[in-house]
Amino acid sequence: MTLFSRPRTDLPHSPDRWRQALESALKVNDIASSATPLHESVQSMLGVALELLEAEQGSIMLLEDGGASLALVASRGLPLEVPLGHRTSVGEGVSGRVLATGKSLLLGDVDSDAFVNFVPKSRPISSSLVIPMRIQGRGIGVLNLTMTGSRVFTDEDLRVAQLFADQAAGIINRARLHERAEQRSSDLMALVESSKGLLGALDVDSLLRHILDGGTRLAGAKDGFACLFDPETGAIDRGVFRGMSKTVIRDIVADPDVQRAIDSTDVANIDLPDGSITAVGLRTARGTRGVFVMRADRGLVEDRGDLLRAYAQQCASAVGAAELYSVIERKESELASIIQAVPNPIVLVDARALIVAINPAAEQLFQVSAMFSAGANVVGGLGHDDVEMLLTAEGEMQSEVVAGNPPLVYKVRVTDVRVPGAPMGRVLIMDDVTSEREIAQTHRDFVAMIGHELRTPLTIIKGFARTLLKRVETASPEDQREALSTIDTKAAHLERLIEDLLYISKIESREATLRVEPVDVATLVSAVSADTIQDFPEREIVLDVADKLSWPCDETKVGLVLRHLIENALKYSENPTPVTVRVSREEDELRVDIIDQGLGLVSSDIPHIFERFHQVDSSSTREQGGTGVGLYLCSQLVKVHGGRIWVDSTWGKGSTFSFSLPSRSTGRKVVRLLGTTAQTA
């Protein structure tokens, strides 16, 4: 075998060879400009080279595997045992050495038992060309041409072959770059299309379906599943699947290779007994782990490994966003539930003073709808100037306003709602302090009233005592007796007032006790009535009491109730109309009615008549005085007996105060009291 080395790339010398070379170049350009796939174009270029150099056999080998080997991509006339895709390492064999050195070879007289590129020759080779295919001095492949007849390649053929090989190399390189760009564009479009479903998907279950859809689209698969794992137990928390049973999914998830893919958040191709699968691990910023698995085209998955990794990162980000949204949504729901349940009126406005939220209590107070008010300007939106001014002001503020129908007093607090760097708006919270203000006013009124009630009898006692001191030697016995009687009466009045206040204190501190004994009701009612009428000598009390009636009760406390009710009836009615005390048995209750024909009560006062310190605001009550504790004390004393107390009254026609206690009775007795005497009717 004769070996000639020809590193030169001189142009052809013969005009005919020039013409042939140019024609071949045009043919190669036509091939390159067609839409033919690269592997078919290379095969066509080899045919042009064979025709140009009148060779009988030929092949083109291109660099692959990152430049580590030459792969046979086109051939003509080679034995069947040399398939396309056959590889030779760079630096090994004739083609490998030619590519490594960058020098073309012209081989002659190759024996039939010799090997060229490790390919056995079935007949003697008379001549062979091995030409490096170069781009700017960088080899990308090798062109092999052989002769088996009497004709051999010349130096001119070597120059033409080198010229053709360099032109073909440039075209092949550009085609490869274009093909790669198209593939890259196609892959990116596939990634974009697969990722579309991830955008805006904030429901985790819906997002998992989109993840599975996009993953199977990228991997060219139909069947698969996507799932997330519980952070604490590691079990599947939620997932979606298609074309796989739950048993198969559990077995796949338990596979060690799948677990490694999950832990490393990488792409793994795994061979299982029933076929191969591709597993892609996920991990969110919050540490939630997941995986999507597909029965995929393994070759496509290997080509799109980087795309699947990029897609997995997008999936993890989308799941993290959905998790965060879920947390925010839950917190918002909890906050909204709290705000909705709070009985205090709450109004939230944004930085532009537009209404953001109004809770039901505020809706009712301002008579507005939260749905229709959202987004409206708060000025004029609530119908309350003071509240609107507070919401449009700046800084933390507190005030008291009157709002609602009926009017109530509210303590208002307004503060800015902020996020780091900027205010977001203002929130207003209102506390109903009407009861507190009413209690405070009642206390003030009570202190003023009790001072007056104590001062009046004390003034009289003090005046009569001083008179006696000054006239102790000159006053007649009758004058002394009258003065002492007045002092005694006023002192008794003070004593009763103090006793009432002490009773109330004990009841409210839950220290009041009952001494329950059988009591003769007729005797008790007669005694209390006779005692009370002493202060009203011109008045009349009619007693209508059941005869021989005895009840278990606290005689002192029931007597106190009777005294207050009879005294009020005498105070707020006029002579000559009598006050009637009627006692009767109704089933298992003892009912006591104190009836007068005085001015009566207006309907608005009746619901509050038994409240502590409550006094009816009228000229008659102001004239008669009083502390406002009598009826309240009566109601409490009746309640500790387990009874009821109520009033029926009509303005201008009088009132009937009634209370009931458990009792039994037989017979009846009617007694008429005139002044200081009692007569049996």
Share of the chain above pLDDT 90, in %: 17
Span 66-98, pLDDT tens digits: 778 888 888 887 776 568 888 888 878 888 888
Hey, CA dihedral for 660, 664, 670, 673, is it positive or negative?
Answer: negative
How far, in whole angstroms, is CA 104 from its chain's centroid? 74
* 8 A C-beta contact, residue 489 and residue 483: no
DSSP states of 209-253 as a string?
A: HHHHHHHHHHHT-S-EEEEEE-TTT-SEEEEEEES--HHHHHHHH
Cα 399 to Cα 485: distance, rounded to the nearest angstrom = 56
* 8 A C-beta contact, residue 131 and residue 90: no
Residue 190 lies in a domain: no
Q: How confident is the model at residue 660, as a pLDDT?
A: 93
Helix, coil or strand: residue 525: helix
For residue 556, is pLDDT > 90? no
| Arithmetic mean of pLDDT over the chain | 80
Residue 529 lies in a domain: yes
CATH code, 296:
3.30.450.40
pLDDT confidence of 459, banded at 50, 70, 90? confident
Q: H or E segment at 671?
A: strand 669-674
pLDDT confidence of 421, banded at 50, 70, 90? low
Check whether residue 164 and residue 144 sit in a common domain.
yes
Cβ neighbors of 435 (< 8 A, separation 6 or more) are none
Nearest CA among 123, 142, 124, 121 for reference residue 133: 142
Q: How confident is the model at residue 387, as a pLDDT?
A: 92
Residue 461 lies in a domain: yes
pLDDT confidence of 621, banded at 50, 70, 90? very low
Number of domains into which the chain is organized? 5
The residue out of 507, 527, 545 marking a domain boundary is: 507
Cα 310 to Cα 11: distance, rounded to the nearest angstrom = 50
Cα 592 to Cα 519: distance, rounded to the nearest angstrom = 15
Residue 189 lies in a domain: no
The residue out of 469, 489, 507 marking a domain boundary is: 507
Check whether residue 470 and residue 581 sit in a common domain.
no
Q: Which of 42-51, 420-429, 562-571, 598-607 has the highest mean pLDDT?
A: 562-571
- Exposure string for 310-348, b = 16+ CB within 10 A, e = fewer: bbbebbbebbbbbbeeeeeeeeeeeeeeebeeeebbbbb
Domain membership of residue 547 as a residue range: 514-680
pLDDT confidence of 28, banded at 50, 70, 90? confident
Q: How confident is the model at residue 5, as a pLDDT?
A: 41
Helix, coil or strand: residue 28: helix
pLDDT confidence of 7, banded at 50, 70, 90? very low
Under DSSP, the state recorded for 653 is: T
Residue 336 lies in a domain: no
Q: H or E segment at 161?
A: helix 155-196
Check whether residue 225 and residue 284 sit in a common domain.
yes
Higher pLDDT among residues 127 and 595, named by residue: 595
Check whether residue 173 and residue 26 sit in a common domain.
yes
pTM for this entry: 0.48
How far, in whole angstroms, is CA 63 from its chain's centroid? 59
Check whether residue 540 and residue 590 sit in a common domain.
yes
How far, in whole angstroms, is CA 357 from its chain's centroid? 15
Check whether residue 535 and residue 610 sit in a common domain.
yes
Cα 194 to Cα 226: distance, rounded to the nearest angstrom = 14
Tokens describing residue 587: 């089933």
Cβ neighbors of 428 (< 8 A, separation 6 or more) are 345, 346, 347, 348, 387, 390, 391, 412, 413, 414
Q: How confident is the model at residue 119, as a pLDDT?
A: 46
Q: How confident is the model at residue 285, as a pLDDT?
A: 84
The residue out of 394, 428, 462 marking a domain boundary is: 428
For residue 437, is pLDDT > 80? yes
pLDDT confidence of 292, banded at 50, 70, 90? very high
Span 384-418, pLDDT tens digits: 999 999 999 988 899 999 998 889 999 999 998 87
Higher pLDDT among residues 432 and 551, named by residue: 432
For residue 297, is pLDDT > 80? no
Span 218-277, pLDDT tens digits: 888 889 999 999 988 888 998 999 988 888 888 889 889 889 988 988 888 888 777 788
Q: How confident is the model at residue 541, as a pLDDT?
A: 93
> Which segments of 55-154 does DSSP mark as H helices, in order?
93-101
CATH code, 651:
3.30.565.10
Q: How confident is the model at residue 504, as a pLDDT?
A: 67
The stretch 615-629 carries a mean pLDDT of 54
Check whether residue 634 and residue 654 sit in a common domain.
yes
CATH code, 457:
1.10.287.130
Q: How confident is the model at residue 677, as a pLDDT?
A: 41
Check whether residue 498 and residue 608 sit in a common domain.
no
Check whether residue 142 and residue 211 sit in a common domain.
no
For residue 23, is pLDDT > 80? no
Cα 461 to Cα 110: distance, rounded to the nearest angstrom = 154
Residue 243 lies in a domain: yes
Span 164-208, pLDDT tens digits: 888 888 888 888 887 777 777 777 776 777 777 777 778 888 889
Span 562-600, pLDDT tens digits: 998 999 999 989 888 999 999 988 878 889 999 999 988
DSSP states of 38-64 as a string?
A: HHHHHHHHHHHHHHHHT-SEEEEEEEE
Lowest mean pLDDT segment, chosen from 112-126, 129-143, 468-482, 499-513 = 112-126
Check whether residue 562 and residue 660 sit in a common domain.
yes
Residue 462 lies in a domain: yes
Lowest mean pLDDT segment, chosen from 312-316, 439-443, 599-603 = 439-443
Q: H or E segment at 15?
A: helix 15-33
Secondary structure, 3-state, 135-149: ECCEEEEEEEEEECC
Residue 88 lies in a domain: yes
Check whether residue 239 and residue 386 sit in a common domain.
no
Span 326-337, pLDDT tens digits: 888 888 788 778
Check whether residue 319 and residue 252 sit in a common domain.
yes
pLDDT confidence of 107, banded at 50, 70, 90? confident
Q: How confident is the model at residue 226, as a pLDDT?
A: 93
Higher pLDDT among residues 410 and 451, named by residue: 410
Q: How confident is the model at residue 48, as a pLDDT?
A: 84
Span 623-669, pLDDT tens digits: 554 556 788 888 988 988 889 999 999 888 899 999 999 764 333 44
For residue 252, is it left (φ>0), alpha (ψ between -120 and 50) or beta? alpha
